[in-house]
Chain A
Amino acid sequence: GQNIDQPTEMTATEGAIVQINCTYQTSGFNGLFWYQQHAGEAPTFLSYNVLDGLEEKGRFSSFLSRSKGYSYLLLKELQMKDSASYLCAVKDSNYQLIWGAGTKLIIKP
């Protein structure tokens, strides 16, 4: 079956750095996505990786290793507004998005 694993919850301090890991086992791979979701709202797109390596976008960076079935989302200079759930999703061979359960990130002052 298809499976995406990410930690359920993480806590970090304002101004610090946090890394959220995601491992996946899917039937085929056509890209990995990270989305941010605040409670009661729709997810918003953060990043997309289809090739190995690091993609940097401001305070957020995303890394992919296809051979290891592994990705991480790195958040720098954490702000209170970064408190949210972070969803890892993979597009499989049918171009269907398979979602992880999400990581709830709690930022403390």
Chain B
Amino acid sequence: GAVVSQHPSWVICKSGTSVKIECRSLDFQATTMFWYRQFPKQSLMLMATSNEGSKATYEQGVEKDKFLINHASLTLSTLTVTSAHPEDSSFYICSAPTPARETEAFFGQGTRLTVV
């Protein structure tokens, strides 16, 4: 079964509103989670690294005030897209390394965000 659960799997929102995406690790604790964005026919692009109990680390070019990340517990990280615009429409995926297999990253199911 899935070791990382992401919710919702798809969402449609109006321009200017905010959307929250949740990523939960199941049956293990994740001190670190990764948030990716993927545009059609393009590769995964790392947006930020979420760290439990501290501030997230954002990749260059990613607006931290627009993409709010909260890692409040060892099993939950959230990404909030604030004041969403149509260009934010994308596939957002979270992942977490598992403690049992540090070499591998398991992914959430992904969230398809459409901003209209």
B103 touches A48 (CB 8 A): yes
Asked, given contacts A48-B104, A97-B105, whether A40 binds B91 with beta carbons under 8 Å apart, the answer is yes
* A101 on interface, CB distance cutoff 8 Å: yes
Residues of B within 8 A of A40 (CB): 91, 110, 112
Interface residues of A in 75-109 (CB under 8 A from B): 87, 91, 96-97, 99-102, 104
Q: 4 more A-B contacts (CB under 8 A) besides A41-B109, A101-B42?
A: A48-B103, A48-B104, A96-B46, A99-B43
Taken together as a complex, chains A and B put the C-alpha atoms of A102 and B41 apart, in Å, by 9
Residues of A within 8 A of B49 (CB): 96
- From residue B34, how far is it (CB to closest CB) to chain A in Å? 8
Residues of A within 8 A of B6 (CB): 42
* B106 on interface, CB distance cutoff 8 Å: yes
Taken together as a complex, chains A and B put the C-alpha atoms of A42 and B7 apart, in Å, by 13
Interface residues of B in 33-55 (CB under 8 A from A): 34, 41-46, 49
Taken together as a complex, chains A and B put the C-alpha atoms of A59 and B10 apart, in Å, by 33
A42 touches B108 (CB 8 A): yes
Please classify how large the interface on chain A is, using the bins under 10, 10 to 19, 20 to 34, 35 or more: 10 to 19
B105 touches A101 (CB 8 A): no
* A43 on interface, CB distance cutoff 8 Å: yes
- From residue B62, how far is it (CB to closest CB) to chain A in Å? 14
A42 touches B105 (CB 8 A): no
* A7 on interface, CB distance cutoff 8 Å: no
* B93 on interface, CB distance cutoff 8 Å: yes
B112 touches A45 (CB 8 A): no
- What 0/1 pattern do residues 37 to 53 of A give for CB contact below 8 A with B? 00011111100101000
Residues of B within 8 A of A44 (CB): 107
Q: Which 5 pairs of residues, A with B, have the shortest CB-CB distance?
A: A42-B107, A101-B43, A42-B110, A99-B44, A99-B43
